Chain A
Amino acid sequence: MSRMKRVYSWLDHRLQLGKPLLEMAEHPIPNRTASWWYVFGSAAFTLLMLQIVTGILLALVYVPSAGEAWNSLNFLNHQLTLGWFLRAMHGWGSNFMVAVVLIHMAQVFLFGAYKYPRELTWTLGVFLLLMTLGMAFTGQVMRFDQDAYWGLGIGASILSRVPVVGGSLVHMMLGGPIIAGATLSRFFTLHVFVIPGLMLAFTFLHVWMVLKLGINEWPMPGRVVRRSTYMAEYHELTEKDGRSFVPGGVWKDAVFSAAIIAAVAVCAVVFGPFGPGGQPDPTIIQTVPKPDFFFLWLYAVLSYLPPNLETPFLLIAPVLGIAALLGLPFYASEGEKSWHRRPIAILALTTIAVSWGVLTHLGTYTPWSPHMDAWSGGPAIPARFLRTASPVEREGAVVFQAKQCRNCHSIGGYGGQRGPALDDVATRLTGDQLIRQVLQGGGNMPAYGKNLSPAEVTALVSFLQTLHPANEPSAADAAQSVTGH
């Protein structure tokens, strides 16, 4: 025993770390913050460590070369003992990390933790969030499959919209004129050296400030933050109603971190690694690129914005959003912390969470994308639509199928969702309106005027006119019924 002590004191005499560490461990925290609500920050830190370790282990095998990356990933998945497991841990760890960082942020926002004197802690946290998302995006590039390739194309296309310097930015991003070897090399550098290095530095400062300034106290309605009195009040609180950080608060952090790592491992074992998908050959165009989970919301936004709003949105919204996050603690550094007294904050958080959820949900089934194979690959038009059809109407059904109408319009429950389902289109549009819509398009529909012969149009429209439930009449033109036409 005394031998251990001697080793310890030999080390500490030289390292000089014992005293400051002990101080940190024993610093008092308010009793009520030793709560399960306060575990997300430490969980994010644990996940960062997990990502670093699994990342280093993957880098032992991964080849960051456009020609070989995809092969080395498949080697990891299928040939190397437990390579799949490490890829899965890293992939799921990334998903968990983005989620935990977002939850952590929502929680500190809700608890008013960004107020005086913790403004800078929040600011660094915002940068840490951006870097976490940056790691998620560059990580998707490391997977170097079709989705990664076209994801880079989308990134480059967004950058190209920047006025004046757009072209140069694209060259910078891609490392050349096209997405190729140079692109993967620079994303590898970002993913492995630049962003993680910055993240570690920022994380150190972030945690340092939490320990030095003390954890945010549990917000109470009426306990208002004032610059002049806050520090004294906080110290009084930790003295009167506090406990030592170790072990009083930290045991919950430890339990939750272990649970999170276990959850990552379970997901890794049960669901396996992500991809890689198809090989990154840009001449294979039979592909439907899709971003990773945390960028699905953006995918939805980009589909729904009107074309003329898109460039301003893409270039201005991120700047405004980040500025708002960074500016928040300076705009509202004093005042109420309790959510009972901050209706606008609650409203803002709910709005963001709900829109994110809805957009992500839409992103998972992409109603805006045509189903490229619906016209050729799916089930035929159900017989019930054709049982009583005349030869012309049947011919129209053939036109409907052959001209890819079904890529955007579903019928009998199968087809794209870009346009409305046509099962009962005849109850909405009259024959004349159908002809007009087919010939001239409109809404989100291209004009088929040049692409169909008059006979095909006649057949198609007569087929469409049969599409109404038996007990519901088809749409009628009021003017025609008056003239008795």
Chain B
Amino acid sequence: MNEAGHEHSSENHSVVGSEQDRLTISRRWLLLKMGIALNAVVGVAITIPVVKYLFAAVKPDEEYKSWVSLGPVANFPVGETRLAKFTNPVRRSWDGETDGVACWVRRVAEREFQVFAINCAHLGCPVRWFPQSQLFMCPCHGGVYYADGSRASGPPERGLFPYEVRVVGDSVQIKAGEMPTLSNSASLVQLGGVKTDASKGDSPCRG
């Protein structure tokens, strides 16, 4: 563009014009730079809200969590582990059935509960409870956990993810709202560790 402009004007003004041309051209470059600068300013001004919009889903875990009822205490016989289902507190009307969440509720004693995430601590597959052998087994890579959620064998590095539990009046409640993963649940106490010691059965990490 530069060269073309130069040729064009030199035809018209022959010798005299060359000094003037340089000025014209440098002025055009200056205007282009201004144009670019203007775009940069507008770009930044627009980028900020766009980035905020894009990252809107990134929130501290606590903002997603709230207390959810799993139903009356009587639904869970003492000494047994049962599947409970609830609707995730954070949901949208078009979630369909995906806003449902399942968890394993273990009633240890009259008013003592342990609630475990359905998600394997390895890579999140749904673990299944086998009352006969008192084990949780994972269908994906063969992770196994004891009744108290501690790791028994297989690829998981730790025990099942426990929810915070409380009993309010007649209902069992847990603090839920987020898919449990290592990034939001790993700070909790390691259940039973990686020891294979069978006598380890006390329940740490009570909600």
Contact = CB atoms under 8 A, between A and B. Distances in A.
A247 to B, nearest CB: 40
Counting contact residues on chain B (CB < 8 A from A), the size range is 35 or more
B10 interface: no
Interface residues of A, number: 73
Interface string B184-199: 1000000000101111
A167 B94 contact: no
How would you classify the secondary structure of chain B's contact residues: helix, strand, loop or mixed? loop
Nearest to B103: A283
A178 B124 contact: no
Contact of A150 (B64, B126, B177): B126
A166 B126 contact: no
Nearest to A281: B97
B65 to A, nearest CB: 8
Q: Which of A65, A170, A285 has the most CB of B within 10 A?
A: A285
B102 A154 contact: no
Given A282-B98, A372-B128, A450-B198, A404 B123 contact: no
Q: Considering residues A370, A403, A443, which has the most beta carbons from chain B within 10 angstroms of its beta carbon? A: A370
Interface string A163-182: 00011101110111111111
Given A172-B57, A175-B57, A182-B92, A447 B124 contact: no
Given A160-B183, A161-B182, A368-B142, A176 B90 contact: yes
B14 interface: no
B59 interface: yes
Given A150-B125, A167-B61, A408 B142 contact: yes
A55 interface: no
A97 B27 CA distance: 53
B196 A176 contact: no
Nearest to B182: A160
Interface stretch (A23-31, A43-51, A230-238, A303-311): A303-311
Interface stretch (B15-23, B105-113, B151-159, B167-175): B151-159
B141 A302 contact: yes
B101 interface: yes
Contacts of B153: 441, 443-446
Given A66-B96, A149-B98, A447-B152, A177 B196 contact: no
Interface stretch (B42-50, B68-76, B129-137): B129-137
B85 interface: yes
A444 B143 CA distance: 9
| Residue among B55, B124, B196 with most chain A CB within 10 A | B124
A178 B196 contact: no
Contacts of B152: 441, 446-447
A442 interface: yes
B126 A287 contact: yes
Given A180-B92, A180-B98, A180-B99, A156 B139 contact: no
B135 A451 contact: yes
A446 B57 CA distance: 39
Nearest to A161: B182
Contacts of A176: 57, 64, 90
B3 interface: no
Instruction: State the main secondary structure of chain A at its contact with B.
Output: loop
B40 to A, nearest CB: 24
B96 A280 contact: yes
Contacts of A372: 128, 137, 139
A287 B139 contact: yes
Given A67-B96, A150-B126, A283 B101 contact: yes
B152 to A, nearest CB: 3
B88 interface: yes
Contacts of A67: 94-98
B98 A404 contact: no
A372 to B, nearest CB: 6
Contact of B98 (A171, A179, A285, A440): A179
A19 B85 CA distance: 68
Nearest to A65: B94
A242 interface: no
8 contacts: A174-B57, A180-B95, A283-B97, A302-B123, A368-B141, A370-B144, A407-B130, A443-B153
Name the 7 nearest CB pairs between A and B, nearest first. A67-B96, A446-B152, A449-B198, A160-B181, A447-B198, A166-B183, A153-B124
Given A154-B140, A168-B58, A370-B137, 17 more contacts: A65-B96, A149-B98, A153-B179, A156-B124, A160-B181, A160-B182, A166-B183, A280-B96, A281-B97, A281-B100, A286-B128, A369-B139, A370-B138, A375-B132, A446-B196, A450-B134, A450-B147
